[in-house]
C-alpha cells in the first residue's frame, strides 16, 4: 500500500497536471482572439506553443496517473518511468511546433503581412503572462515536493511561455510605435529557436532517466558518507543509483565483519537502510552483505578498467 506521504504527492501531481490543462485551454482561446484581431505571427507562434502545452499537459496528466500506480507483479519497480516517456513525447511535439513556426517565420520574410489592433494583442498577451506565472509558481512547488519529472517538464514549457509572452508584448509595442512589421517575424523566429532548444533539453533529461543514468548533485557522495558513518560498517562497493521516476533507488554491497551472525548482519544492514531513507524519503534501498576483505569480481573494478582502456 502507498504511504500517506506518497498519496499526498500523487494528489499534488494530479492537481498540477489538471491546472495545466485548464490553463492551456484558456490561453488557446485568448491568444486565438489575439491572432484574429492582429494577424501577428508572433502571437500565432504563441498559440501554437499553447496547443503544444495543451497536448503536453494532457500527456502529463495520463503519465502522472500511470506513474502513481503501485508496483505490481509485472512492474516490480513501479510505474514511475511513465513520466520520462511523457517528457520525451512532449519534447517531440514541442520540436515539431518550433519547426512549424520557424518555417512560417521565414516564409513571412518574403511575403510580409501588416499588423492591426496591436493594443488588443498586447492586452491578451499580458493576461496570458499573469495566468502563466501563477501556474508556474504552483507547478514548481509541486515539483519540489514530489520530484516529478513530468511536472518539472510541464513547468519548463510554461517558463518558456513567460519568456515568449514578454517578448511578444515588447514586439507588438515596438511594431505599434515604429510600424516595423518585420520585427514581428523576427520575434517569432526567435521564439521558434527557443522552443527547439527547450525540446532538446527535455528529450536529453528523459533519455537519461530511461537509460538509468547515475544520479547527480553529489547524491552518490552523500550516500557513501551516510553508509560509512554507520556503526560496524567497514566499507562499501558497487554502489548504483538511479531515478525510478520521482523515486530514487540505491543498490550497494555492504562490507561487514565476516564473523557476524546472519541476524547481526541483517540488523546492521537495516540501520544503514534506515539512515539512507532518513535523508532520501521513499527511496528504495537494496543491500547485499559481504565479509570485509573478501576478494570478488566487482562492478567498480570493471568500470574503472573500461574507463582507463578508452583511447
Instruction: Render pLDDT for 213-233 as a digit per residue (tens, 0 to 9).
Output: 888 768 889 999 999 998 889
Query: Among residues 108, 110, 130, 127, which one has the least CA distance to residue 39?
Result: 108
Taking the CB of residue 17, how many other CB atoms lie within 10 A of it? 26
The pLDDT of residue 95: 82
Q: Give the CA-trace dihedral at 148, 16, 277, 221, to 10 degrees.
A: 40
Q: Report which listed range, 140-144, 167-171, 209-213, 228-232, is most confident.
A: 228-232
Percent of the chain with pLDDT over 70: 84
Residue spans in the chain of domains classed CATH 3.30.70.1350 = 219-308
Q: Which three cell numbers stand for residue 309?
A: 582502456
Contacts of 132 (CB under 8 A, 6+ apart): 23, 27, 158, 161, 162, 165
More confident residue, 13 or 255: 255
* CATH classification code of 219-308: 3.30.70.1350
Q: Is the pLDDT of residue 310 over 70?
A: no
What is the sign, positive or negative, of the torsion defined by CA atoms of 285, 220, 278, 151? negative
Q: How does pLDDT run across 236-250, given as a tens digit for each residue?
A: 998 989 887 767 889
User: Structure pTM?
Assistant: 0.60
Which of the given ranges, 62-71, 90-99, 121-130, has the highest pLDDT on average?
121-130
Q: Does residue 64 or residue 131 have the better pLDDT?
A: 131
Give pLDDT tens digits for 3-18.
566 677 778 877 887 8
Cα angle 8, 77, 244 (rounded to 5 degrees) comes to 65
CA dist 263 and 274 (Å) reads 17
- Domain span(s) for CATH 1.20.1510.10 in the chain: 4-210
Distance CA 268, CA 233 (A): 8
CB 188 within 8 Å of CB 104: yes
Query: For domain 4-210, which architecture applies?
Result: Up-down Bundle (1.20)
Mean pLDDT of 276-292: 89
Predicted pLDDT at 275: 93
Amino acid at each position: 500500500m502507498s504511504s500517506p506521504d506518497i498519496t499526498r504527492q500523487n494528489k499534488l501531481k494530479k492537481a498540477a497536471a489538471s491546472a495545466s490543462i485548464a490553463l492551456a485551454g484558456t490561453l488557446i482561446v485568448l491568444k486565438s482572439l489575439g491572432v484574429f484581431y492582429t494577424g501577428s505571427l508572433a502571437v500565432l507562434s504563441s498559440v501554437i506553443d499553447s496547443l503544444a502545452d495543451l497536448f503536453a499537459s494532457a500527456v502529463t496528466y495520463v503519465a502522472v496517473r500511470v506513474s502513481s500506480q503501485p508496483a505490481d507483479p509485472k512492474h516490480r519497480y513501479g510505474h514511475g518511468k511513465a513520466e520520462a516517456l511523457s517528457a520525451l513525447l512532449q519534447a517531440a511535439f514541442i520540436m515539431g511546433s518550433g519547426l512549424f513556426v520557424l518555417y512560417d517565420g521565414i516564409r513571412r520574410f518574403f511575403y510580409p503581412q501588416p499588423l492591426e489592433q496591436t493594443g488588443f494583442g498586447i492586452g491578451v498577451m499580458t493576461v496570458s503572462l499573469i495566468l502563466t506565472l501563477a501556474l508556474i509558481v504552483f507547478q514548481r512547488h509541486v515539483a519540489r515536493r514530489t520530484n516529478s519529472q513530468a511536472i518539472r517538464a510541464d513547468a519548463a514549457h510554461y517558463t518558456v511561455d513567460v519568456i515568449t509572452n514578454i517578448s511578444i508584448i515588447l514586439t507588438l509595442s515596438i511594431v505599434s510605435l515604429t510600424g516595423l512589421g518585420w520585427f514581428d517575424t523576427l520575434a517569432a523566429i526567435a521564439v521558434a529557436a527557443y522552443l527547439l532548444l527547450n525540446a532538446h533539453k527535455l528529450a536529453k533529461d528523459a533519455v537519461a532517466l530511461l537509460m538509468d543514468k547515475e544520479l547527480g548533485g553529489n547524491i552518490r557522495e552523500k550516500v557513501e558518507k551516510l553508509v560509512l558513518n554507520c556503526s560496524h560498517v567497514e566499507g562499501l562497493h558497487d554502489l548504483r543509483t538511479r531515478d525510478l521516476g520521482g523515486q530514487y533507488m540505491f543498490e550497494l554491497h555492504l562490507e561487514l565483519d565476516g564473523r557476524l551472525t546472519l541476524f547481526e548482519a541483517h540488523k546492521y544492514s537495516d540501520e544503514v537502510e534506515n539512515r539512507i531513507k532518513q535523508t532520501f524519503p521513499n527511496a528504495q534501498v537494496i543491500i547485499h552483505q559481504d565479509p570485509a576483505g573478501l576478494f570478488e569480481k566487482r562492478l567498480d573494478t570493471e568500470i574503472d578498467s573500461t574507463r582507463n582502456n578508452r583511447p
